[in-house]
């Protein structure tokens, strides 16, 4: 009976069945992304710009920009100069942008995008999106391959499909999500599988050949992801597998050397420093640029939802999907049972288990590497149960059928049942009940609208000096660089810098003069100078900012409607008390519904607001009320009995929007410039007004 929990020896028929099912789930993974792509093509007015598809991630343009430089036969190091102004400026900056000239310091993703763009008329955006379904197919089959090598192919089929269609991975690998996550999981599982295979296989030559292949795939993984630190858990797993499987010492040492050699000498050297950085950033949440000896800058990692821990229900819903608590519970039970009966093989899962623990205690971001074993555990429990029942029946001689045939039949039926369950419970399932013309339940929207994309594109076409610097919120950084070719001061790869605090502080400041000084300071000093100034104490730091002079090149401030939904993060960072290192005055734009009752009264929710007095029937009092129309203030009410909140009424053509905001927000530079057109022309000159999408101001 115990062999049921240890072995899945189904013979040739079982191998063929597993391979067929592996191909099926790979095609299902491909189809689910292709279905999304078909919906995008039907809605080109939202999802395409100039006949090219947009992206559904703010990080994707980072890779597109690198692919663009490769496509134009330019040095990719130029990308750094555009991203981190003035870090790589010849005069102000001190860093050397030539550090990344090596092709191996560029992710394989932009290299791949650039290569395949030749098949799509050099359309990088189209080529990148076309890679997504293919990557999904490869990932699903790669996960399955690991479990086939483990000896549990039927369970591996469910692990591959369950992971691919889980909410977390499906969202992160959907149409428009051009990121290394497309193959990270697949490469991770391939390497673990090959490491395990090099232990299980008989014969020294085969062992050495497989470990060389594993090392080569680790080299590709490092090149793709640019994070060599994974080498350490791979090596640790290899050593433990060698020890518990009693492999000869000589072969073990040669395997380790070959794995390191084929992984790439530079990867080996860099893996330790990369691991230290990883631990500091994601486990200790430490940043060398967040704290100086005197001031404490806010850490934007505290605002990233992927790095926040969740309760069990939230975790299961976000990682697997709504109502999926049973998958986590049964999956963990199945995995524990598997470890109990297959310890020597299960050691190969150690890196996966590490990420599983991190996903619970550090943040859901790390769950994507662990999701396959949840579904593996579920499948393992079911198939073991079915096999156990079959064993009991066979022992009673009630059925006279080939034991091997019936085992394959039952395992296949159980797997097909779980495939069906995974598909119908996934957010990839068709909400229109038409499988062959499917509209998935989840279809991502482009991260940035056509209007925003056009705004950045026009910056390079309307006579803007190519040396111009655009100051805006960091989410825009990569997209701005890709379409405009102009420089930004921070982006998704540098948002932990004190410059993010300074940009946020310039937006939240009630003084336009202060905002002006901050922007001039940001574009005139590299991060090293910022840290040196802040290290001298708050008064010195503020004094240095106030002495900032305009830069001798065009500088612009880009403000947009998107900043309304980012305002909570902007105020969390911008209003941070850097002297004491504590949060202060975080606020947001809280949308409410109001309707007129009379000339002086409005019904807002369940309360009645008197516009003349600012009093509210629930006993509260407004501080002030401002009405703006198409980006210009037309009326303002300031009340004697100051309350804790203010009201902003925005009129866009015939539409009205009501926002409850803090009085500080209403006095901020962002609101004055964007909503009210109340700008000091000596400091901020409005040169492009495409309200309500965006406004561009020139820093005088």
The predicted model gives 644-657 an average pLDDT of 93
Hey, where are the domains in the chain? 1-54+107-179+308-447, 180-284
Dihedral pair phi/psi, residue 125, rounded to 5° = -65, -40
Per-residue DSSP letter, 209: H
Choose between 520 and 641: higher pLDDT: 520
Of these ranges, 28-37, 290-299, 490-499, the one predicted with the greatest mean pLDDT is 28-37
Do the beta carbons of residue 442 and residue 457 sit within 8 Å?
Answer: no
- Using one digit for the tens of pLDDT, what is the confidence trace for 420-472? 999 999 999 999 988 889 999 999 999 999 999 999 998 888 778 888 999 99
**Distance separating alpha carbons of residues 526 and 534, to the nearest angstrom:** 13
Lowest-pLDDT choice from 80-84, 165-169, 352-356 = 80-84
- Using one digit for the tens of pLDDT, what is the confidence trace for 250-302? 999 999 999 999 999 888 888 888 777 777 665 655 555 555 568 899 887 77
pLDDT at 699: 95
Dihedral pair phi/psi, residue 660, rounded to 5° = -90, 125
Which stretches of 245-370 are DSSP H helices? 249-263, 265-278, 312-319, 325-341, 343-346, 350-361
- Mean of the per-residue pLDDT values of the chain: 91
The predicted model gives 571-580 an average pLDDT of 94
Do the beta carbons of residue 374 and residue 320 sit within 8 Å?
Answer: yes
pLDDT at 286: 55
336 CB contacts (<8 Å, ≥6 apart)?
A: 377
Written as six digits, the tokens of 559 are: 């403000």
pTM (predicted TM-score)? 0.90
Task: Compute the residue count for the chain.
Answer: 700
The predicted model gives 179-185 an average pLDDT of 96
**Distance separating alpha carbons of residues 3 and 378, to the nearest angstrom:** 18
The predicted model gives 477-492 an average pLDDT of 93
* CA distances, 463 to each of 172, 452, 467, 469 (Å): 37, 18, 11, 14
Q: Using pLDDT thresholds of 50, 70 and 90, give the confidence band for residue 678.
A: very high
The predicted model gives 595-599 an average pLDDT of 91
Indicate the pairing of strand 555-560 with strand 469-471. parallel
Order of strands across the sheet that contains 607-610 = 594-596, 601-604, 607-610
pLDDT at 405: 80
> Counting Cβ atoms within 10 Å, is residue 449 exposed (0-12), middle (13-18) or buried (19+)?
middle
**Distance separating alpha carbons of residues 264 and 486, to the nearest angstrom:** 35
Q: Using pLDDT thresholds of 50, 70 and 90, give the confidence band for residue 75.
A: confident
Written as six digits, the tokens of 311 are: 């309760």
pLDDT at 340: 95
Residue with tokens 């288990």: 353
User: What percent of the chain clears pLDDT 90, i.e. is strictly above it?
Assistant: 75
Q: Using pLDDT thresholds of 50, 70 and 90, give the confidence band for residue 89.
A: confident
**Distance separating alpha carbons of residues 545 and 548, to the nearest angstrom:** 5
**Nearest Cα to Cα of residue 128 among 147, 110, 150:** 110
């Amino acid at each position: 009976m115990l062999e049921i929990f240890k072995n899945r020896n189904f013979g040739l028929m079982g191998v063929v069945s597993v391979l067929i099912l592996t191909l099926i789930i790979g095609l299902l993974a491909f189809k689910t992304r292709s279905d999304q792509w078909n919906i995008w093509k039907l809605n080109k007015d939202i999802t395409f710009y100039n006949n090219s598809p947009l992206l559904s991630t703010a990080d994707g343009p980072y890779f597109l920009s690198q692919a663009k430089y490769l496509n134009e036969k330019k040095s990719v190091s130029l990308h750094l100069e555009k991203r981190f102004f003035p870090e790589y400026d010849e005069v102000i900056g001190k860093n050397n942008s030539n550090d990344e000239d090596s092709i191996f310091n560029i992710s394989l993703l932009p290299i791949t995008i650039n290569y395949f763009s030749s098949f799509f008329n050099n359309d990088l955006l189209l080529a990148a999106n076309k890679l997504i379904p293919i990557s999904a197919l490869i990932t699903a089959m790669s996960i399955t391959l690991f479990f086939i090598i483990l000896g549990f192919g039927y369970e591996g089929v469910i692990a591959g499909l369950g992971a691919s269609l889980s909410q977390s991975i499906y969202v992160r690998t959907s149409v428009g999500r051009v990121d290394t996550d497309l193959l990270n999981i697949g490469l991770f599982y391939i390497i673990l599988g090959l490491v395990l295979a090099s232990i299980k296989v008989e014969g020294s030559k085969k062992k050495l050949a497989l470990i060389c292949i594993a090392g080569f795939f680790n080299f590709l993984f490092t090149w793709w992801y640019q994070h060599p630190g994974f080498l350490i858990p791979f090596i640790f797993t290899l050593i433990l597998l060698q020890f518990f499987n009693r492999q000869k010492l000589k072969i073990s040492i040669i395997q380790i050397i070959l794995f390191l050699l084929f992984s790439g000498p530079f990867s080996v050297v860099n893996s330790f420093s990369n691991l230290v950085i990883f631990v500091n950033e994601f486990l200790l949440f430490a940043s060398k640029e967040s704290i100086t000896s005197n001031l404490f800058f806010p850490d934007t990692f505290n605002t990233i939802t992927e790095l926040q821990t969740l309760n069990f229900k939230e975790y299961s819903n976000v990682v697997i999907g709504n109502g999926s608590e049973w998958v986590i519970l049964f999956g963990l039970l199945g995995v524990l049972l598997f470890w109990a009966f297959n310890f020597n093989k299960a050691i190969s899962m150690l890196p996966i288990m590490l990420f599983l623990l991190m996903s619970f205690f550090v943040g859901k971001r790390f769950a994507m590497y662990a999701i396959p074993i949840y579904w593996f555990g579920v499948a393992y429990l079911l198939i073991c149960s079915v096999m156990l029942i079959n064993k009991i029946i066979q022992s009673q001689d009630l059925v006279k059928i080939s034991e091997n045939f019936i085992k394959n039949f039952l395992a296949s039926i159980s797997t097909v049942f779980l495939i069906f369950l995974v598909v119908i419970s996934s957010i990839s399932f068709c909400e229109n009940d038409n499988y062959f013309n499917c509209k998935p339940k989840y279809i991502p929207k482009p991260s940035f609208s056509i209007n925003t994309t056009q705004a950045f594109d026009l910056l390079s076409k309307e006579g803007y000096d190519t040396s111009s610097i655009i100051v805006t919120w960091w989410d825009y950084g990569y997209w701005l660089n890709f379409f405009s070719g102009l420089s930004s001061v921070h982006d998704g790869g540098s948002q932990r810098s004190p410059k993010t605090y300074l940009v946020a502080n310039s937006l939240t400041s009630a003084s336009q003069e202060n905002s002006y000084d901050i922007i001039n300071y940001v574009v005139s000093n590299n991060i090293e100078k910022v840290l040196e100034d802040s290290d001298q104490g708050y008064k010195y730091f503020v004094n240095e900012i106030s002495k900032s002079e305009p830069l001798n090149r065009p500088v612009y401030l880009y403000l947009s409607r998107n900043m309304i939904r980012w305002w909570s993060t902007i105020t969390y960072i911008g209003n941070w008390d850097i002297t004491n290192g504590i949060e202060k005055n975080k606020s947001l734009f809280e949308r409410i519904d109001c309707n007129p009752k009379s000339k002086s009264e409005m019904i807002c929710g369940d309360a009645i607001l008197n516009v003349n007095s600012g009093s509210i029937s629930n006993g509260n009092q407004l501080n002030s009320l401002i009405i703006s129309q198409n980006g210009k203030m037309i009326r303002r009410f300031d009340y004697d009995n100051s309350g804790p909140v203010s009201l902003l009424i925005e009129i866009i053509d015939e539409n009205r929007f009501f926002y409850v905001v803090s009085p500080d927000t209403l006095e901020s530079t962002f609101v004055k410039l964007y909503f009210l057109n109340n700008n000091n022309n000596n400091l901020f000159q409005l040169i492009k007004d495409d309200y309500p999408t965006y406004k561009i101001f020139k820093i005088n």
